């Protein structure tokens, strides 16, 4: 049910509908939009500060420009809620029953006013340059506008985009939405010193990266001043060359808790608007916590450890590490390539770097994994999260990691099944300097199981249960699923299956695989990720010329978008019952 049938926003179906409004009405709209952002985020979670801060820019954009003829490209696009409210998707914010109909990112499937599905940072300038170049090849003249936050500017692709933007001899407007990342509690790098100097001199400082790059430049001191934003957009509309509008906005504008605590309110799960507290229960113990505990303990014991991440400390409990050892903590900003390559140098120079990555973002450092880590066989230690099959949006689907890491030479990609095993693997990874080690941090229910080895330089499969006929390889996070399948096989088919923890998705235990053939006809692989190029295929290849029948379970080569895991598990045959049904068919063939 629409909670606000009285809102002015109900009259806005297309951006054109705001063009006749008075400034007072636009301000009223701004207030409504802020309320709706908060209501939706409180209920289902989402990006808070970025959307609150961009309200006036969005209003001014749609007041001045003609969307979708003129084209706006939102970097990372998690600040596109206000844009969505004006472009046919207001019900996704007015009516809780429709909250889930509208994604948190731009989506061409939702609206003609969205041009790309985007969830990673730093792409908007490159996209806008491509839009402008193709517009010119079509002899058209619409405006192309990229809106990029200061946080996204640290990613190398943003710089590559700026470098190429200045080649254009035609319209391109790059809005740098600067909401003071540099006043965050730690120094994010030189770029942010430069931006700060520009803000403090109202854009007058001679040190100007944009002008250096040959781009026109204009500073807007208050991007939350609607009239000022309208004025500046009117000034630059139809400009015949590229220009950077450096717009200073307030992240979280209009909601004090989000202003006071911008990190916590950048993205939030559902929360209580009165108390500010999370309404989703937090698990008592976590893998991240155990990892940080281990690192702190190792440092106390004299190991020279550095912890590196690319702008995602909250994902790994790293603020606690930073507090304990600020000189050992390196947040390189949104710059995954940098996080990996600098770690290689540390590893080669006698320090033990532990790099924390999200699978979906680590994709941006793929060449650094190959050319820097693997080629140099540099003993970097890396923790990767988010590779599992999940209800995540397609933009952040991280399920390609087993494929893109395990296919590389020299790197050992370990997949622990429990917190004890994870810490055991981490201890070993740090203690040795022979090989790069990546550890896949589990995401599902935290399990306690003892580790069965301490030195992982040669992998010895854990045969957790010795049976016959069917052998189940349960990789990492899917350990519990493997145990469930084993029980279901016993129950339904009276098969006493062997259950194996392979520990790694790269190197295989050839001896164990060979011996399995003596009393097993079927091998089942369960991996919490994409099948294409995954662990299962490695086992398929091992047995490809043998009598062994192999069944692989995991995700197919596709993007899933905000689909609940239970539904995916049905689609992909990842429930114990469906897996046993599939096994049964093969049992009957033998």
Footprint of a copy of itself on 243-282 (CB under 8 A): none
- Of 113, 120, 199, 248, which one interacts with a copy of itself (CB under 8 A)? 120
Residues with Cβ within 8 Å of 11's Cβ and at least 6 positions away in sequence, in order, are 17
Give the closest residue to 400 by CA, choosing from 541, 534, 506: 534
C-beta of 227: minimal distance to a copy of itself in Å?
A: 30
- Contacts of a copy of itself in 377-436 (CB under 8 A): 394-395, 400, 403-404, 406-410
Sheet with 381-385, side-by-side order of all strands: 329-331, 305-309, 352-358, 381-385, 437-440, 412-414
| Alpha carbon distance 586, 548 (integer Å) | 11
Sign, CA torsion 510/514/519/521: positive
Q: Is the Cβ of residue 190 or residue 270 nearer to a copy of itself in the bound state?
A: 190
Among the listed ranges 24-32, 91-99, 369-377, 456-464, the one in contact with a copy of itself (CB under 8 A) is 369-377
C-beta of 195: minimal distance to a copy of itself in Å?
A: 9
- Of 48, 129, 232, 464, which one interacts with a copy of itself (CB under 8 A)? 129
Binding mask 506-545 for a copy of itself (x = CB under 8 A): ----------------x-------xxxx--xxx-xx-xxx
C-beta of 439: minimal distance to a copy of itself in Å?
A: 19
Strands (E), 410-452: 412-414, 437-440
C-beta of 43: minimal distance to a copy of itself in Å?
A: 27
Residue 288 makes contact with a copy of itself by CB under 8 A: no
Q: Find where tokens 């909401």 sit.
A: 179
Q: Is the Cβ of residue 98 or residue 196 nearer to a copy of itself in the bound state?
A: 196
| Alpha carbon distance 407, 366 (integer Å) | 11
Q: Residue 145, SS3?
A: strand
| Alpha carbon distance 482, 467 (integer Å) | 14
Residues with Cβ within 8 Å of 578's Cβ and at least 6 positions away in sequence, in order, are 569, 570
C-beta of 506: minimal distance to a copy of itself in Å?
A: 8
Q: Is the Cβ of residue 97 or residue 184 nearer to a copy of itself in the bound state?
A: 184
Binding mask 16-55 for a copy of itself (x = CB under 8 A): ----------------------------------------
Cα distances (Å, whole numbers) of residue 566 to 101, 118, 391, 574: 19, 25, 9, 9
Cα 424 to the center of its chain, rounded Å: 27
Q: What is the DSSP string of 3-24?
A: S-TT-GGGG-SSGGGGTT--HH
Q: Is the Cβ of residue 3 or residue 375 nearer to a copy of itself in the bound state?
A: 375
- Contacts of a copy of itself in 307-366 (CB under 8 A): 327-328, 330, 332-333, 335, 337-338, 341-346, 348-351, 353, 360-361, 363-364, 366
Q: Are 125 and 97 in contact (CB under 8 A)?
A: no
Locate 152 and state its tokens.
Answer: 């996204």
Among the listed ranges 36-44, 185-193, 230-238, 508-516, the one in contact with a copy of itself (CB under 8 A) is 185-193
**Total residues in contact with a copy of itself, by rule CB under 8 A:** 118
| Alpha carbon distance 463, 6 (integer Å) | 65
Binding mask 59-78 for a copy of itself (x = CB under 8 A): --------------x-----
- Of 228, 324, 463, 586, which one interacts with a copy of itself (CB under 8 A)? 586
Among the listed ranges 12-20, 315-323, 414-422, 556-564, the one in contact with a copy of itself (CB under 8 A) is 556-564
Residue 565 makes contact with a copy of itself by CB under 8 A: no
376: phi then psi, degrees, rounded to nearest 5: -90, 0
Residue 304 makes contact with a copy of itself by CB under 8 A: yes
C-beta of 116: minimal distance to a copy of itself in Å?
A: 6
Q: Cα 438–440–442 angle (5° rounding)?
A: 160
C-beta of 546: minimal distance to a copy of itself in Å?
A: 8
Q: Is the Cβ of residue 268 or residue 364 nearer to a copy of itself in the bound state?
A: 364
C-beta of 105: minimal distance to a copy of itself in Å?
A: 10
Locate 314 and state its tokens.
Answer: 């909250």
C-beta of 399: minimal distance to a copy of itself in Å?
A: 10
- 370 burial type by CB count under 10 A (0-12 exposed, 13-18 middle, 19+ buried): middle
Q: Find where tokens 């063939």 sit.
A: 589
- Contacts of a copy of itself in 187-226 (CB under 8 A): 187, 189-191, 193-194, 197, 206-209, 211-215
Count CB neighbours of 436 within 10 A: 26
């Amino acid at each position: 049910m629409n909670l606000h049938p009285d809102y002015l926003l109900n009259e806005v179906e297309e951006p054109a509908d705001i063009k006749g409004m008075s400034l007072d009405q636009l301000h009223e709209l701004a207030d409504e939009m802020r309320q709706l952002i908060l209501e939706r985020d409180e209920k289902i979670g989402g990006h808070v500060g970025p959307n609150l801060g961009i309200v006036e820019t969005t209003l001014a954009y749609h007041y001045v420009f003609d969307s979708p003829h003129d084209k706006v490209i939102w970097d990372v696009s998690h600040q596109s809620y206000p844009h969505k409210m004006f472009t046919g998707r207001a019900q996704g914010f007015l009516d809780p029953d429709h909250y889930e109909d509208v994604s948190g990112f731009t989506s061409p499937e939702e609206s003609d006013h969205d041009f790309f599905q985007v969830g990673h940072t730093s792409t908007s300038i490159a996209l806008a340059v491509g839009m402008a170049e193709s517009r010119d090849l079509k002899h058209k003249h619409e405006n192309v506008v990229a809106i990029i936050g200061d946080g996204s500017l640290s990613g190398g692709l943003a710089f590559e985009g700026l470098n190429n933007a200045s080649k254009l001899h035609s319209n391109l407007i790059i809005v740098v939405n600067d909401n003071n990342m540099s006043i965050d509690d730690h120094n994010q790098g030189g770029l942010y010193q430069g931006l700060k100097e520009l803000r403090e001199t109202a854009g007058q400082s001679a040190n100007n990266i944009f002008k250096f790059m040959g781009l026109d430049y204009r500073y807007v001191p208050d991007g939350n001043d609607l009239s000022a934003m309208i004025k500046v957009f009117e000034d630059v509309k139809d400009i015949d060359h590229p220009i950077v509008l450096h717009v200073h906005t307030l992240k979280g504008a209009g909601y004090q808790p989000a202003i006071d605590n911008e990190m916590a309110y950048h993205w939030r799960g559902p929360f209580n608007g009165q108390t500010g507290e999370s309404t989703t229960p937090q698990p008592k113990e976590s893998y991240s916590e155990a990892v940080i505990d281990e690192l702190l303990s190792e440092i106390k014991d004299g190991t020279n450890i550095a912890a590196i991440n690319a702008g995602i400390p909250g994902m790994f409990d790293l603020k606690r590490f930073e507090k304990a050892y600020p000189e050992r903590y390196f947040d390189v900003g949104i710059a995954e390539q940098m996080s990996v390559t600098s770690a290689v140098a540390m590893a080669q120079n006698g320090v033990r770097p532990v790099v924390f990555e999200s699978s979906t973002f680590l994709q941006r450092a793929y060449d650094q994994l190959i050319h820097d880590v693997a080629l140099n066989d540099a003993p970097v230690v890396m923790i990767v999260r988010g590779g599992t099959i999940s209800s995540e949006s397609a933009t952040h689907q991280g399920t390609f990691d087993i494929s893109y890491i395990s296919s590389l030479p020299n790197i050992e990609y370990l997949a622990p099944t429990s917190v004890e095993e994870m810490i055991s693997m981490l201890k070993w990874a740090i203690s040795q300097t022979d090989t790069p080690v990546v550890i896949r941090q589990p995401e599902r229910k935290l399990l306690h199981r003892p580790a069965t080895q301490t030195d992982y330089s040669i992998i010895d499969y854990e045969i957790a249960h010795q049976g016959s006929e069917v052998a189940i390889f349960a990789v990492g996070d899917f350990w519990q699923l493997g145990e469930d399948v084993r029980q279901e096989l016993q129950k339904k088919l009276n098969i006493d299956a062997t259950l194996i923890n392979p520990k790694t998705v790269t190197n295989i235990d050839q001896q164990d695989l060979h011996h399995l053939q003596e009393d097993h006809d079927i091998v089942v692989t369960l991996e919490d990720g994409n099948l294409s190029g995954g662990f299962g295929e490695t086992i398929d290849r091992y047995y490809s010329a043998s009598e062994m029948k192999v069944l692989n379970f995991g995700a197919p080569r596709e993007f899933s978008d905000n689909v609940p895991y239970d539904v995916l598990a049905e689609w992909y045959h990842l429930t114990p019952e469906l897996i046993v049904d599939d096994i049964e068919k093969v049992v009957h063939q033998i």
